[in-house]
Amino acid sequence: MRHPTLLTACFAGVITLAGCGDKSGDNTVSRAFQDVNVVDESNLNDVMLTVGDPNEAVTYFTRTAKESPDRIDIQRGLAKSLIRAKRNKEGASAWVVVVNMEDATADDQVEYADALIRAGEWAEAEKTLDAVPPTHETYNRYRLEAIIADSKQEWAKADSFYETAIGLTTTPGSVLNNWGYSKLTRGDYSAAERLFGEAIQNDPSLFTAKNNLVLARGAQREYTLPPIEMDQTERAQLLHTLALSAIKKGDVETGKGLLQDAINTHPQHFEAAARSLRALENAG
């Protein structure tokens, strides 16, 4: 955020310099304005990469990259904004530009691997990560290593990478959720339930982990909601998920009851649950 008093003082200094009337004064004024522009542009870049609309950010960085093609920070901004806009193949291509620039870093290589995974280029992503020096030990690197190991069903490696990633971040909610989902796909439901619970403890707003937790419980025929933080709408949605799990297991009557609970719990009309319940009743 700009501070009016500070800016006023800065511009007052510029005006004073301008009053000198000599060439060196003019040069100083020019440099002063350039400094202000650099600060403003840096702030704008940060805004575009965080709260700005992703497609607006793509437009901004595309235009700026054409004006300053040799600036790696702008090329990074373009690549990141394309990924934020879910234009993953374009984003991966943009990261190619970044990693081939002179000032590219190991973090850039990891970001490129991330983009390749999002674009479905798994083999190239693995190759890219393999080229990252082993001394580059970061949360994002090991998170991606775990995802790739999962995709190849190399469970022991995946578990090791997930555990390492968790130790390298203060916000492990999402990676705990990923690890839990890995356990869920392997059929290790109790381990999955534990990991989803830990994910929610770290980030109570993580609805995906809540939904996955209910799936893990349903797979064990545990048809009650866990004692976790949830609002009324979330409760209805989780009851719906639990109902579908029960029906999939062949516990149809239990599923019907859970669907009715979901309908009664939701603060508005819950069409998905109502439609499922109608289908079951018509079939029966």
Nearest partner of 246 among 258, 233, 263, judged by Cα: 258
Tokens representing 175 are: 């990676």
Q: What is the pLDDT of residue 48?
A: 77
- Angstrom distances, CA of residue 107 to CA of 76, 82, 222, 275: 11, 17, 43, 48
Region of residue 240 (left: phi > 0; alpha: psi -120 to 50; beta: else): alpha
Q: What is the pLDDT of residue 18?
A: 38
Could you state, in chain order, the average pLDDT of each consecutive group of 10 residues for the chain (284 residues)? Answer: 39 36 48 43 72 85 93 95 96 97 97 97 97 96 97 97 97 97 96 97 96 97 95 97 95 96 95 93 80
Nearest partner of 192 among 215, 172, 162, judged by Cα: 215
Q: What is the pLDDT of residue 283?
A: 79
Its pTM surpasses 0.85: no
Q: How many CA atoms lie within 13 A of 148 on its CB side?
A: 23
Nearest partner of 265 among 247, 238, 245, 246, judged by Cα: 238
